[in-house]
Structure 1
Amino acid sequence: MKNNKKQGYLASVLLICAMVFTSCIVTSQEPKSTDIVISKDMKWSDKMALTIMKRHPEAYMIDDAKTPKWDYVHGLVLHSIEELYKKNPDPRYPVYIKGYVDSFVENDGNIKTYDLDNYNIDMVVSGRLLFKIYETTKEEKYLKALQLLRKQLTEQPRTESGGFWHKKIYPNQMWLDGLYMGEPFYAEYTTAFENGKQLDDVAKQFELIQKHATDPKTGLLYHAWDESKQMAWANKETGTSPNFWSRALGWYAMALVDVLDYFPKDHPKQKELVGYLNSVSAALAKYQDKSGLWYQVTDKGNKEGNYLEASGSSMFAYAFAKGANKGYLPAKYKKLANKAFDGLTKQLIKVDADGGITLTQACAVAGLGGKPYRDGSYEYYVKERKKDNDPKATGPFILAALELGR
């Protein structure tokens, strides 16, 4: 009897020890915000990534989200952290990314909170996170989730000339934002699973927006183009929206440098895309402020209400640096990218008490149409609210820092 009691006691102790040990292993894998130390000697890329992880212990909390949502801002920031991991293999980074993906992707490949029937191209970009996770785990659910997002692109409504609508609720409209939201995923998917057979269609999206949204005088591209010319914001002759918004141009420039990763040099459309990148970069270079930054409304300088804006400036720094690093752009663009990055770190970054960093002067959101109606006027863009460490600025800031080795 005594032996039985002793054995039972020993079994209980061993079970408790095993539970403690297991819990230690689990917690050591998860980035705890209290454990994150941000030293002043770190590179800007790590400082920003760790700041985001410290402020948002679960990745779905990025952008101060209170409940989990499959969203483009999370895709942007987590993609930048995925790129950072290639340069600095800190094990906390992939755990943080996979935590986000696993809170949405179900066993049948369904993605919680995502609704295919909305045909919202913004929802495709987070799918970029699935490629590496599927490649690493070979779990079928990630492949099914990839296929679900690919299905959206197959069925996405198009303008008569073949351009993806930005959303089902915005008929006949292509927005510059949409090129970043859809095309890098589309290019990677068709390369990985379809032998690149849809790369011509990827290029076509750029051809259409380049042709219809480019202003012949400045070389800049308007925020959006309505092929039907029915929208109140649309120019009745050209269908373009009335102003140049730096972040929209930033989405476009980033989309170009990212899709080019999947276009072989001998692909008939590769040179065309490199040409678009050179064209938009040359136009943007003319509007770079002496601070190295760009204004919210790109061509309006220090007109009353306009301001030097963090997200567009970070996006241009990234596109210029990557474009120069890859040989798509002349070397001088690397200097312009460094000048932009200096402007960001000297003028718009604040260092917090815990060593974390805050990027200020980022436009929180801007769009066209909808309710309340957004008319695309100069006043509209400069009056939209600003947000510190907005993910549309922090993600590209990390990407720019990586390309510049900073």
Structure 2
Amino acid sequence: MNRTIKCLLLAIGIVQLPPIICEAQSKKAKAEKWPAGTSPQEVGKRVAEHFVVTPHTNFGRSTPPKVITYPETCTWYGALTFARQTGDKELAKKLAQRFEPLLGAQDTLIPKPDHVDYTVFGAVPLELYMQTKDKRYLRLGQGIADKQWGPPEGPRVKPESHEFYNKGYTWQTRMWIDDMFMITAVQSQAYRATGDKKYIERAAKEMVLYLDSLQRPNGLFYHAPDVPYFWGRGDGWMAVGMAELLRSLPKDNPNRERIMKGYKSMMASLLTYQAESGMWRQLIDDEASWPETSCTGMFTFAMITGVKNGWLDAATYGPAARKGWLALVSYIDEHADVHEVCEGTNKKNDRQYYLDRKRNIGDLHGQAPILWCATAWLR
């Protein structure tokens, strides 16, 4: 890579150089790296601190949830990774204090790990264990990860649950693209926390099943096999799931090449659908669809992670990631709430159903990707 290209990438925040290289350009680039108020440090801090004081959410309902919901899990995980990456011990302490009641009188809020949306909760105690070395968190998180690959049990078991289990997949497999974050997140975290390769190998095998079954020729994914629409956040779960998995998947894993191929194919396709504003849409390929923040955050995270790890060409994807981030933070208001977040969404074979979804403010589906991106920029 020549010096001109390096200086360009420095200016967009993708690489860092020794001071001796293009020193004058470097000083200018550092000063102009992020417009005021848009740096990952500033934005991540605001959104994380806002989460700390946010009561447990229940998909927009006024009543408290019976158990911790997956959007809260995702935001909690993001806030914890941001605290670790920035060395913010006070923030980390607050996030641990938020968890403490769940180890005591409020333990009924811990989701039963019998569905992907509940099992993902294990990612949070596993992150807390890695940061605190408190074995209470490890026991809880590892137990949840193990349950996901244990024998099928409970009222959610279906005939196909046994078929998947007998083939070495989790019995919670349901072939919705959302699953490829929910499943891979907790299993990748269990690997990071324990070093036991069985967890990451499980996740990789599962990811290949979904890629082989669901990825379309254009690199994107229908919401489900019977729903032929490229729903933004659904594809976002796949994008983040692949990036998070590849970040920790050993280079000698036999499934790594297949997953990388699926990931790069998706990123190349997403590049063509990014709007001039930097946003992606509620329905990715539908220009009549509205710009949506949760999927924009997820795709931006996947591209940042790809450039940082050298999987994606920095000169191509670095500007797209920066553009996505700057567009995304423009949707954050003075209360650190993200606007234009698609509400929780089931699958339906109806274009208008997706276009008419409620656009929420402060929905944790949208808060979480902000924190993931802020962490990824700083890695």
TM-score by length of 2: 0.78
Paired with 1:55 and 1:214, the residues of 2 have a C-alpha distance of: 34
Match of 2:366 in 1: 393
Aligned pairs for 1:327-342 (under 5 A) are 327-331=310-314, 332-342=316-326
Paired with 1:78 and 1:338, the residues of 2 have a C-alpha distance of: 24
SS of the equivalent of 2:337 reads strand
Paired with 1:126 and 1:204, the residues of 2 have a C-alpha distance of: 21
Paired with 2:241 and 2:211, the residues of 1 have a C-alpha distance of: 13
Paired with 1:137 and 1:399, the residues of 2 have a C-alpha distance of: 20
Deviations 1:342-399 (A, max 9, x none): 22234x333x2xxx4332111011112xxxxxx2311111112111122111211122
Match of 1:223 in 2: 223
Match of 2:356 in 1: 383
Aligned pairs for 1:202-213 (under 5 A) are 202-213=203-214
Structure 1 residues 208 and 101, CA gap change in structure 2 (3 angstroms): same
The one of 298, 301, 305 aligned to 1:315: 298
Aligned pairs for 1:3-402 (under 5 A) are 41=37, 43-51=39-47, 53-54=49-50, 57=53, 60=56, 67=64, 69-106=67-104, 111-116=107-112, 119-155=114-150, 158=161, 160=163, 162=167, 163-164=169-170, 173-190=174-191, 192-193=193-194, 195-216=196-217, 218-225=218-225, 234=226, 241-302=227-288, 306-331=289-314, 332-346=316-330, 348-350=331-333, 352=334, 356-368=335-347, 375-402=348-375
Structure 1 residues 133 and 200, CA gap change in structure 2 (3 angstroms): closer
Paired with 2:174 and 2:45, the residues of 1 have a C-alpha distance of: 34
Paired with 1:100 and 1:222, the residues of 2 have a C-alpha distance of: 36
Paired with 2:244 and 2:216, the residues of 1 have a C-alpha distance of: 23
Computed over aligned residues only, the root mean square deviation of the Cα atoms, in angstroms, reads: 2.8
Unaligned residue ranges in structure 2 (runs of 5+): 1-35
Paired with 1:349 and 1:42, the residues of 2 have a C-alpha distance of: 10
TM-score by length of 1: 0.73
Task: Tell me the amino acid that sits aligned with residue 323 of structure 2.
Answer: K
> 1:338 touches 1:404 (CA, 8 Å); kept in 2?
no
SS of the equivalent of 1:85 reads helix
Task: Tell me the amino acid that sits aligned with residue 214 of structure 1.
Answer: Q
SS of the equivalent of 1:176 reads coil
C-alpha deviation, 1:83, in angstroms: 1.9
Deviations 1:306-351 (A, max 9, x none): 20100001110111011110112221212111111122234x333x
Unaligned residue ranges in structure 1 (runs of 5+): 1-39, 167-171, 226-233, 235-240, 369-374
Structure 1 residues 404 and 194, CA gap change in structure 2 (3 angstroms): closer
Flag the structure with larger Rg.
1
Moved more, 54-63 or 132-141: 54-63
C-alpha deviation, 1:47, in angstroms: 3.4
SS of the equivalent of 1:175 reads coil
Deviations 1:283-318 (A, max 9, x none): 11121111111110111112xxx2010000111011
Q: Which structure ranks higher in relative contact order (CA pairs < 8 Å, sequence separation ≥ 6)?
A: 2
> 2:96 touches 2:128 (CA, 8 Å); kept in 1?
yes
Deviations 1:150-202 (A, max 9, x none): 23212356474555465xxxxx7311111111112112314543630243321
Match of 2:21 in 1: none
Structure 1 residues 269 and 139, CA gap change in structure 2 (3 angstroms): same
